[in-house]
Amino acid sequence: MKNSNSFLSPSPRETGRGLAYLAFQLLFLSGALNWLNSLLPQPLGAAELNFLYYLINFLAVTVLFRDFLGRSFRQVTAHPALFLQALVLGLTAYWACGSCVGELIRRVAPDFSNYNDQAIAAMAQGSRFLMALGTVILVPPAEECLYRGVIFRSLYRRSPPAAYLVSMTVFAAVHLLGYLNIYSPWELLLALLQYLPAGLCLAWSYVKSGTIFAPIVIHALVNLSAIAALR
């Protein structure tokens, strides 16, 4: 594995701003948007409101991390072979790990349903283009800069194992926050388990490639595959 100085990181200022924005996003943004939406004469539908949430995150993160993203893109152009290798290996590892976890869950809980996946599928029924644009274009840069660029990279300097464990767990937990009152403890554990392969492989591809664009592209391709598979 590479040492802690071998892949790009946000500057200390970008990291601090990123942590502050992440706290705002998790604690206030969704509630504020729902409240403002309730004041409209014709409130936005679930898909439109969700897209607005994605758009705000995307714009905020691209502004906050513009220098980091610029340096990361130059790393891609400087080492395209390494970038492509990280993409292929990261995607392969994701599908392999995800398939194993999926099979395990099917064996121990055949009737288990992921409520986040169900919510996205329901919104995509009437607004597939918006959901595709949001989950494939807007979500990956925002989530990767925050969860890999800030959380994972900051912890990696001190302890790579802790960086993987914490970033994987936080990334998984964020996808479950809106459903804590719906899942049983057992279902919550299974749902958490579903997201761990993605967190692991996205972080590994960041280390391998040296640039945040590897997990961004992998994340986008995974989301594109999921949207394309919806019926």
Reduced 3-state DSSP string for 31-71: HHHHHHHHHCCCCCCHHHHHHHHHHHHHHHHHHHCHHHHHH
Q: How high is the pLDDT of residue 180?
A: 87
Q: Would you list the domain boundaries of the chain?
A: 12-229
pLDDT greater than 80 at residue 4: no
pTM of the predicted model as reported, rounded to 2 decimal places: 0.94
pLDDT for residue 106 is more than 70:
yes
The pLDDT assigned to 125 comes to 86
For the segment 59-86, what is each residue's pLDDT rounded down to a tens digit? 999 999 999 999 999 999 999 999 999 9
Task: Say if residue 98's pLDDT is above 50.
Answer: yes
Residue 212 has pLDDT above 90, yes or no: yes
- pLDDT at position 1, please? 39
Number of other CB atoms surrounding residue 163 within 10 Å: 21
Per DSSP, the three-state class of 156 is helix
Torsion sign across C-alpha atoms 231, 168, 219, 90: negative
Q: What is the C-alpha R_g of the chain? A: 18
- Please report which confidence band the pLDDT of residue 229 belongs to, taking 50, 70 and 90 as the band edges: confident
Integer Cα distance of 218 and 49 in angstroms: 25
pLDDT in tens, 35-57: 999 999 999 999 999 999 999 99
